[in-house]
Amino acid sequence: MTAIPSLRRALVTGGSGELGSAICHALAAGGYHVIVHGNQSLHRADDVAAAIREQGGSAESCAFDVTDAGVTRAALDALLAEGTIHAVVNNAGIHDDAPMAGMSDEQWHRVIDVSLHGFFHVTQPLLLPMARARFGRIVSVSSVAAQVGNRGQTNYAAAKAALHGATKSLAREMASRGITANVVAPGIIEGRMIGDDFPPERIREMVPAQRAGKPAEVAALVAFLCSDAAAYINAQVIGINGGMA
C-alpha cells in the first residue's frame, strides 16, 4: 500500500511482534501512516498492517534484516523514494540469555547486532531526510535490564545500554533541526517474551506495582513521544516499569 502523502510516516522495526504491533496501532491512531517491519515474518507484518487498515488507519508492511547494512539500506531507499519517514521506532531486539561465564561469541554478537547495529543501520539513513523536513522523532526501545542489570543478560543489557548513550549524543546533534531522540525502557511486559521466567508470584516480588505492564501502556508512551506535543522532550531515557528502577 502506498502511503497517503498528507500523513507523516513512521517506521516501526520489529512491528510484527506483540509490543511492536501495539506501537504500530498507537501510532496509526495518532495519525501516522505506519510502516510495519518484520524480519523473517512478513506475513505477520502484513497482518498487523491489515488490522490497522481495517480500523480506519493507514499502514503498509515490509521485511528486511536490520543486521545487514546493505539490505537495510536498499529497503530504506525504496521506502524513502515514496517520501520522508518522519518517525522511527527502533523496537527490533532479541534475547539469547546465558551467564557470561558460559556465553558464546555467537550469543554475544547476535544480540548486539540486532539491537545496536540494527539501530544504526535503520536510523542513520533517515536523519538527513528528517532534517530537510525539519521534523523527526526517534524512539528506541530499551529495557530495565540496561538500567539495573539482569543475571544471564550481559549481552542484552550491554546492547540496550549502548542505545542510551547513542541516543543522548544523537539528540544533541539533531535537536536544532526539530528532531528528538529518546529511549523508552520497559520492565516486565505481558506477552510471550516473559514466558515461564516470570510467574505471577515472582512479578509481585520484583515489581512494586505487583503486576506486569501491558503492551498498550508502552505503546501509548511511544506514540506520545512521536507526537507534536513531545517536541521539547529530548535525550531522555524514560522507564516504564512499575517502579522497578
Q: 49 and 60 in contact (C-beta within 8 Å)?
A: yes
What is the identity of the amino acid at 164? H
**Phi, psi for residue 5 in degrees, rounded to 5:** -55, -30
What is the identity of the amino acid at 53? R
From residue 240, alpha-carbon distances to 53, 97, 175 in Å are: 28, 22, 24
Which residues partner with 36 through β-bridges?
12, 61
The HSE-up count of residue 106 (CA atoms within 13 Å, CB side) is: 0
CA distance 227 to 225: 6
Among the listed residues 85, 120, 90, the one whose alpha carbon sits nearest the alpha carbon of residue 15: 90
Pairing relationship of beta strands 87-90 and 136-141 according to DSSP bridges: parallel
Reply yes or no on whether 32 is catalytic.
Answer: no
Catalytic residue chosen out of the listed positions 156, 181, 219, 223: 156
**Active-site amino acid positions:** 156
